[in-house]
Amino acid sequence: MKIIKPTLIVNKDRVMKNILAMKQKVENSPGQIRFRPHFKTHQSAQIGQWFRDSGITSIAVSSVDMASYFAQNGWEDITIAVLVNPLEIEVINQLAKTFFLDLNLLVDSREIVTLLNNELKHPVKLWIKIDTGYHRTGVTWDQKDDILGIVNAIKRSPRLHFRGLLTHAGHSYKAASSKEIKGIYDDTVSKMNEVREYLEKKGFSNIEISIGDTPTCSIVNKFYGIDEVRCGNFVFYDVMQFFLGTCQEENIAAAVACPVMARYPQRNEIVIYGGAVHLSKDSITGKNNQKIFGLVTLPQNDNQEWGPIIKDTYVSRLTQEHGIIKTDSEFIKQINIGDILMILPVHSCLAANLLKIAPGGQNP
């Protein structure tokens, strides 16, 4: 394939190793735990098929449109893992009436439960979003009376079925060590089970617990105290996960191939066609306090794979279409205008969303 512009390249072998490693961890954990990978990272029917070929039957998505896309591609058990948007009720109704689809929605208030009861015409299953420390959305875990009120509202509806409690421990991405990430998992599971035990004392049973952030799911050796795992970023991993210590370099399964537009030896900088609209503006802080927007590797096998990370070389700045790579005098001598460099993104979910993935695992 001839690359002439920023192009997302996916290494299928690495993707499959990541999928099978997480699946095996779930299967080796005690109890009957469901693996429901979050497809917001790749958003690709082709990569979804790789999951299906691995025996995965349940998925999570991050929008109603994404749910429709994967339903059209044959997925029959889908959780829309963001709170219900009341302005999309008509589309949700269309999804819910699909006879083969087991549709799960997410709520965190009695208000939205009432709306769903009044507006939905077909049965759906509901998870209650619980905030265990991330502070984005969800009922705070210790507001147990509020959670009970939501459960009671669901139980009164003939079309709504209460499935369980769901959380996303997104604060794990800010952890400073593997030990801290493991502590976040333990804390999350403890809080979620305290809520479950409270509801059980109030007479409710068969309450499931669903968790799903890649850092904790990657660090823990075995899952416990939960019924479902929903991590998503693990399929590609990225520079952020690499710096967190939740993956190895060889786990990073997506890179952005970028043409070299200019080189400036006098300041040890290379300019690539590949900016914020391709890589996103997510950054991490390096060991010398420098801002890093991506790490650099060289292409291999006709630009379909990449080699090891180049030492002391990184994307230091981004404009809309351009990236500025800071490097050293030795590396810059190897690079010519028109060459291709492979950039490992800081956040693979955003890079994949910006560049999209076409059948075959790479965008055209």
CATH number at residue 65: 3.20.20.10
Whether 361 maps to a domain, the answer reads: no
Closest CA to 340 of 44, 4, 16, 62: 4
Please name the residue that has the structure tokens 């001839």.
2
Whether 360 maps to a domain, the answer reads: no
Closest CA to 100 of 118, 83, 76: 76
Say if residues 51 and 38 touch (Cβ distance below 8 Å): no
Joined tokens for residue 196 = 């479950």
Strand partners, 211: 229
Say if residues 166 and 128 touch (Cβ distance below 8 Å): yes
Report the pLDDT value the prediction gives residue 278, as an integer from 0 to 100: 96
Specify whether 103 is located in the same domain as 171: yes
Specify whether 103 is located in the same domain as 186: yes
Q: In angstroms, rounded to a whole number, what is the distance separating the alpha carbons of residues 103 and 76?
A: 8
Sort strands 254-264 and 340-345 into parallel, antiparallel or unpaired.
antiparallel
Expressed as residue numbers, the domain containing 97 is 12-237
Q: In angstroms, rounded to a whole number, what is the distance separating the alpha carbons of residues 85 and 364?
A: 33
| Domains in the chain, number | 2
pTM, rounded to two decimals: 0.94
Closest CA to 346 of 252, 225, 209, 222: 252
Whether 327 maps to a domain, the answer reads: yes
Specify whether 224 is located in the same domain as 135: yes
Report the pLDDT value the prediction gives residue 304, as an integer from 0 to 100: 87
Report the pLDDT value the prediction gives residue 363, as an integer from 0 to 100: 43
Specify whether 215 is located in the same domain as 256: no
Specify whether 27 is located in the same domain as 116: yes
Crossing angle (nearest 10°) for helices 144-155 and 110-119: 10
Please name the residue that has the structure tokens 């009376």.
145
Joined tokens for residue 207 = 């309450």
Give the residue from 199, 215, 237 where a domain finishes: 237
Whether 4 maps to a domain, the answer reads: no
Q: 334: domain CATH number?
A: 2.40.37.20
Whether 159 maps to a domain, the answer reads: yes
Specify whether 303 is located in the same domain as 198: no
Joined tokens for residue 309 = 């990370």
Closest CA to 108 of 88, 136, 89: 136
Give the residue from 186, 203, 237 where a domain finishes: 237
Whether 281 maps to a domain, the answer reads: yes
Whether 325 maps to a domain, the answer reads: yes
Specify whether 292 is located in the same domain as 165: no
Over the chain, what HEC string results? CCCCCCEEEECHHHHHHHHHHHHHHHHHCCCCCEECCECCCCCCHHHHHHHHHCCCCCEEECCHHHHHHHHHCCCCEEEEEEECCHHHHHHHHHHHCCCCCEEEEEECCHHHHHHHHHHCCCCEEEEEEEECCCCCCCEECCCHHHHHHHHHHHHCCCCEEEEEEECCCHHHHHCCCHHHHHHHHHHHHHHHHHHHHHHHHCCCCCCEEEECCHHHHHHCCCCCCCCEECCCHHHCCCHHHHHHCCCCHHHCCEEEEEEEEEEEHHHCEEEEECCHHHHCCCCEECCCCCEECEEEECEECCCCEECCCCCCCEEEEECCCEEEEECCHHHHHHCCCCCEEEEEECCHHHHHHHHCCCCCCECC
Specify whether 154 is located in the same domain as 273: no
Report the pLDDT value the prediction gives residue 1, as an integer from 0 to 100: 72
Specify whether 53 is located in the same domain as 147: yes
Say if residues 77 and 52 touch (Cβ distance below 8 Å): no
Whether 243 maps to a domain, the answer reads: no
Report the pLDDT value the prediction gives residue 287, as an integer from 0 to 100: 87
Give the residue from 237, 265, 292 where a domain finishes: 237
Q: Which amino acid is at 114?
A: T
Specify whether 224 is located in the same domain as 105: yes
Query: Which regions of the chain are under pLDDT 70?
Result: 357-364
Say if residues 273 and 261 touch (Cβ distance below 8 Å): yes
Say if residues 337 and 281 touch (Cβ distance below 8 Å): no
Specify whether 271 is located in the same domain as 158: no
Q: Which amino acid is at 195?
A: V
Specify whether 229 is located in the same domain as 268: no
